[in-house]
Amino acid sequence: MHHADGHAIGWNGGRLHGVMLFRPAGRDVVDGAVQHIGHAAGAASRIWVQPVGIGRQHGTSAVMRAARSGAAALEFALTAPAVLFSFLAVFELYRLVSAQRALDFAVTRVLREAAVTSSSGTTSSIQSAVATQVSQLVPGASPTTTVSFSPAYAPGDTLTISSQLTWAPEILPAWFASATLRSSGSVTVQN
């Protein structure tokens, strides 16, 4: 429908959906809420003004709004458990990798210390040192450590430490099984 002042009102299925303004060429800006569609040189411009609707949803009924919000709730209900499970699984894997790194670090550190310090060369002191190092990094962990000397604990001989730790998941115990983490190393005794 065209009005004498240059406005055209668009109707779609009985609903007002926007206003079309006809302006002379060169006057492309009506206000900040318009979008220029285009014009030929010397002809009138057609500028589409922001749609004018009835109600907040541009004429949609309350039933349609409820259906859309119900669909969003259903999508959230279907995806939220998967996202939460993925987050918790990543956290459990982080704990597993951290425990393995702590065990590796403890064995390496005790090996270095035992290689150069003669006072830390007894089996019980090495086992105690590994347990202390691991428990500082993984609270509550108690590794099982085996110490062997080849042939004895003397300069030039080989010291081997093997340690294992049973890791159990805390957050998702039903989906993750416990794991046995192992670390070992050998060093030549220096002192």
* Sign of CA pseudo-dihedral 73, 79, 81, 83: negative
Closest CA to 126 of 150, 112, 110: 110
What are the residue ranges spanned by the domains of the chain?
7-49, 62-188
The pTM of the full predicted model, rounded to 2 decimals, is: 0.60
Contact status, residue 161 vs residue 185, Cβ threshold 8 Å: yes
pLDDT for res 122 = 83
pLDDT for res 104 = 97
pLDDT for res 60 = 57
Contact status, residue 18 vs residue 10, Cβ threshold 8 Å: yes
**pLDDT 10s per residue in the chain (191 long)?**
544 444 444 444 544 444 444 444 444 444 444 444 444 444 444 444 445 444 454 555 666 676 777 888 899 999 999 999 999 999 999 999 999 999 999 999 999 998 888 666 688 999 999 999 999 999 889 999 999 988 888 888 999 999 999 999 888 887 788 899 999 999 998 87
CA dist 12 to 48, 59, 68, 105, 147, Å?
15, 11, 22, 72, 85
